[in-house]
Every structure is written in C-alpha cells, then in structure tokens.
Amino acid sequence: MKKLILAIGCVLAVAGVAFAQGTVQWSTISFAAMTAQTNATEISPLFGGAATGAGTIGAAGGSAAGGTGFYWELLYQGGASQVPAPISLGQLASWLDTGLQASNSNTAGRLTPINATGGAIVPWSAGTTDSIVLVGWSANLGSSWSAVDTLLGSASTFAPNSYLGFSSSGYITTLATSVSPGSVVFATAATAQGTPIDSLLTQLYSLPVPEPTTMALAGLGGLAMLLIRRRK
C-alpha cells in the first residue's frame, strides 16, 4: 500500500512539473530590439492596406494612460514551427493573449512593460516552445486587448487617428517558475530559449475611417432624429 501511494505521489509530482506554467522576462523591453513608429500612409494590412493619402503621421511620446498614447499586448500561438505575425483578421483569430501588457514610454518609439516583473507567468507550460508577437494600438481604440480584438471583428470603420500594428514574431521556450527571471522575449540575437522578438521600427498602420460623405449623412440622420423627438 505504501509503495502504491509513493508511486501515485511520484506521478502527480511529474505531472505537476509537466503542466507547470512557464515564465518569461517582462521587466524591460530592449529598445535595441523593439521600437515602433506611426509614420505610415497605409491602412493596416488587416483591412487591405490601401493608401490613405500623402503626409506623415509621426511618432508620439507620452503615456497611454493619458489617452493619447499606445498600448501593447504579448500574444502567443502554439505549433511545431515559428508562425509569422498575422496579416489578416483570419490569421489574427489564431493568436491568444498572454495577459502581458505594455505602453509607450516618454521617449518616442520606445516601450515599457505595465506591471513589469521578472519571471512573468504565461498561459503555456514550462519547456514548451511557442510563437510570440507584440500587437500595438492607439489608446483611442481601448485600454485592453480583448476590447480591441472585439472591435476589430465587428467594425469596418474606426475613429480618426486610430492605429494598429504587429511586431515580427519570435519563437521561444518558456522556463519553469523556479528558473528566474524567465525566457528572454526581446533581443537582437537568438538565446538559449530560442528566437526572441527583434523588431525595430515596428509599423503601426492607420485603420479605415468613415468617408466624409458617410460622416455627413450620419450627422444629418442624427439631426433629423433629434428634430423628430423635439416635435413629439
């Protein structure tokens, strides 16, 4: 009986190790490997990538907490080989959220983790190799990736000055919680845990906005409804 209990205990211990959540480094985002820009005149590839006209949008500093900056989220996808960043809404649907978020820093183009920590836990088990990618968006789309993801799937037009983009992907193996501070997420060269994200000048593209005529018609429609209500 004691031998049976001991054997069951060993199996459970092994299972606990096998299914333990992995960790990554979420303490800093190296600006030698990851920066971003909004100097684009094209709509996001998720919506066809059509030109929007001449001119430069320009990079912005400051914090997303003020409503004028940008948010970022680390996404992941399992698989036997590295998966490139999504370029369509269909491809985006296969990426999952790690729950790790960042914002733009006070230096234009640079990023800083929110709730920075070494050994941040991710949703897949230690020792598993997954693809990772960073998605960034303007704060006027929302403060959480779940809200933005829902909006992308339901809207064909967005508020003016809305931007979204993806870094190049990485392919890393997570470390166990006992091995701090976790796998490297951003670096310019491969590490012992695989290929981190290396994505200088990550492009945030414009999202489609309503045509002026559409906006005018919507405004007239709203005014008509207001007049009808007042007459009633």
Do residues 133 and 91 make contact, with C-beta atoms less than 8 angstroms apart? no
At 158-173, the pLDDT tens digits run 988 888 999 999 999 9
Q: What is the dihedral of CA 87, 90, 91, 97, to 10 degrees?
A: 110
- Beta-carbon contacts of 153 under 8 Å, excluding residues fewer than 6 positions away, are 89
pLDDT at 206: 86
User: Does 222 have pLDDT greater than 60?
Assistant: no
Residue 186: its pLDDT value, please?
98
- Position with higher pLDDT, 38 vs 89: 89
CA atoms of 168 and 30, how far apart (whole Å):
14
Residue pLDDT, tens place only, 82-109 = 999 999 999 999 999 999 999 988 888 8
Mean pLDDT of 197-217: 74
| Alpha-carbon span 104 to 91, nearest angstrom | 25
Q: For position 60, what pLDDT does the model report?
A: 46
Kindly report the pTM of this predicted structure. 0.80
Q: Is the pLDDT of residue 192 over 70?
A: yes
The band of 41, judged by pLDDT with boundaries at 50, 70 and 90, is low
Q: What are phi and psi of 135, to 5 degrees?
A: -105, 135
Give the whole-number percent of the chain exceeding pLDDT 70: 74
Question: Structural domain boundaries of the chain?
Answer: 21-231
Residue 193, Cβ density class (10 Å: 0-12 exposed, 13-18 middle, ≥19 buried) = buried
Q: Which of 37-41, 134-138, 192-196 has the lowest mean pLDDT?
A: 37-41
